[in-house]
Amino acid sequence: MDFNILDLYIELDLLTSEMLETLKINDDEGEWINKITGLLDKRQVLMDNISNGDSSLKSTLDNAKIEQLIKRIYENNKLITEQFSEQMLTMQEKIGQVKQNKLAQDAYLGIDEPSDAWFFDSKK
């Protein structure tokens, strides 16, 4: 096996920190979503590699360092979850505003779905 479990945890910690920074910046939503998706994919690969790692390697490593990394990753994950929740609420609000604006624009322009009653009423 050509990877060290401790190195994988260190890489996972760095990746988690990068995700947190990306969420805090939040410039362009399209770019933000693409970057987070890529980071989540990389993170999943790292987690799979850690899970599939040789158990004899895990037992011989410095457990204190791994425990410290896991705690930091856990704390960052809590912050990431909070940021995701805030971003989701922001996007929901924006979607609601877009829907309201569309309805207002359609009403202003007289664009609505005509019903049979509308057709007959307009012919009178």
Q: Which residues contact 42 (CB under 8 A, 6 or more apart)?
A: 15
Percent of the chain with pLDDT over 90: 29
Q: What is the pLDDT of residues 57-100, one digit of tens each?
A: 555 556 788 888 999 999 999 999 998 898 889 889 999 999 99
CA distance 93 to 51: 38
SS3 115: coil
pLDDT of residue 1: 42
On the question of pLDDT at 5 being above 70, the answer is yes
Q: Is the pTM of this model over 0.85?
A: no
CA distance 106 to 18: 43
What residue segments make up the domains of the chain, in order of their start?
5-123
On the question of pLDDT at 104 being above 90, the answer is no
